[in-house]
């Protein structure tokens, strides 16, 4: 399953309010995310407003397009937009995808398949 990580910047003076809004996401928004292919979706917020998101989807572009076609997403994004800095358009259109540079499970699987890699740095 493809994994995606992204970042956005929440206004530092609104981090608590933003977090509070996410403790009670609308049920129809939750249902729309699940129905459009967003899985294992999490958001992490640093005190200075750095927001990191993680999601699994067969195709993130398709999942985003499917969400964009829902009325609930338009309403949610309109309500969330004021929480973000330097945003053009809806928050779900402005995030920056991050490149994955390490995955423990993938590297462990490589070592299991290739015993010669286990000979590495033994000290």
Q: Would you please indicate which residues are annotated as catalytic (active-site) residues?
A: 22
Q: How far is CA 119 from CA 23, 66, 77, 114, 116, in A?
A: 47, 47, 51, 10, 6
User: Residue 2 in 3-state DSSP?
Assistant: coil
Number of helices (H) and strands (E) in the chain: give both, helices first: 5, 4
Q: In what side-by-side order are the strands of the sheet with 39-45?
A: 39-45, 50-56, 3-9, 96-98
Q: Which two tokens stand for residue 63?
A: 């999942």
């Amino acid at each position: 399953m493809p994994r995606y990580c992204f970042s956005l910047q929440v206004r530092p003076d609104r981090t608590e309010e933003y977090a509070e809004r996410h403790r009670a996401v609308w049920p129809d928004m939750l249902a729309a995310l699940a129905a459009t292919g967003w899985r294992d979706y999490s958001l992490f917020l640093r005190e200075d407003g750095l927001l990191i998101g993680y999601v699994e989807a067969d195709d993130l572009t398709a999942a985003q397009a499917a969400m964009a076609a829902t009325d609930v997403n338009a309403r949610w994004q309109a309500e969330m937009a004021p929480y973000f800095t330097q945003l053009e358009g809806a928050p779900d259109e402005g995030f920056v995808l991050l490149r994955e540079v390490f995955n423990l499970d993938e590297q462990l699987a490589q070592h299991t398949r290739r015993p010669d890699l286990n000979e590495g740095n033994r000290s």
